[in-house]
């Protein structure tokens, strides 16, 4: 399960950011993953629950977005969003396509923190 490793790296960034902003608590974490990373949201949630225990992000809400695959077809000079991966253009069937989104993205989109001042 590679999600554990992914969440481990994410936790490191969260802790760095929380320390940087002197946040006492992270209340919400928004993540984005490309479809082709084959990341399973449930596995991410589970790994996060385990790894965030006793950290600033314990019990934080987790928002996971899977980015759909988009390709650029040089034949029709257009961007197409694919339901499922295929190596050719869904419109003209050309193989002169390039994946432009939904590939290996793994990022923290936002962190909501509570700085304890309320
Ligand atoms: Zn095309």
Q: How many other C-beta atoms lie within 10 A of the C-beta of residue 102?
A: 20
Q: What does the pLDDT read at residue 42? A: 97
In a 10 Å sphere around its CB, with 0-12 CB exposed, 13-18 middle and 19+ buried, how is residue 115 labelled? exposed
> 65: CA distance to ligand 1 center in Å?
27
Token pair recorded at residue 98: 């390039």
Strand 78-82 relative to strand 97-101: parallel, antiparallel, unpaired? Answer: unpaired
Ligand 1 centroid from CA 77, angstroms: 7
CA of 84 to the centre of ligand 1 (A): 16
pLDDT value at 84 more than 80: yes
Contacts of 76 (CB under 8 A, 6+ apart): 89, 91, 92, 94
Residues with CB in 5 Å of ion ligand 1: 73, 75-76, 89, 91-92, 94
Residue 50 C-alpha from the chain's centroid: 18
**Domain extent listing, the chain:** 3-113
CA of 34 to the centre of ligand 1 (A): 22
Does the pTM surpass 0.85? The reply is yes
Confidence of residue 115 (pLDDT cuts 50, 70, 90): confident
Stretch (H or E) spanning 50: helix 41-51
Q: How confident is the model at residue 38 (pLDDT cuts 50, 70, 90)?
A: very high
Fold observed for domain 3-113? hypothetical protein PF0899 fold (3.30.2320)
Mean pLDDT of 98-105: 96
Q: Is the pLDDT of residue 110 over 80?
A: yes
Q: How far is the CA of 72 from the centre of ligand 1 (A)?
A: 8
């Amino acid at each position: 399960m590679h999600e554990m490793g992914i969440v481990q790296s994410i936790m490191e960034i969260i802790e760095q950011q929380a320390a940087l902003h002197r946040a006492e608590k992270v209340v919400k974490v928004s993540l984005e993953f490309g479809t082709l990373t084959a990341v399973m949201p449930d596995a991410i949630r589970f790994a996060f629950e385990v790894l965030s225990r006793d950290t600033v992000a314990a019990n934080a809400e987790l928002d996971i977005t899977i980015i759909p695959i988009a390709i650029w077809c040089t034949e029709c000079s257009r961007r197409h969003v694919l339901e499922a991966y295929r190596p050719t253009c869904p419109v003209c069937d050309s193989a002169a396509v390039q994946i432009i989104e939904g590939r290996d993205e793994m990022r923290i989109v936002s962190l909501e923190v509570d700085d304890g001042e309320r």
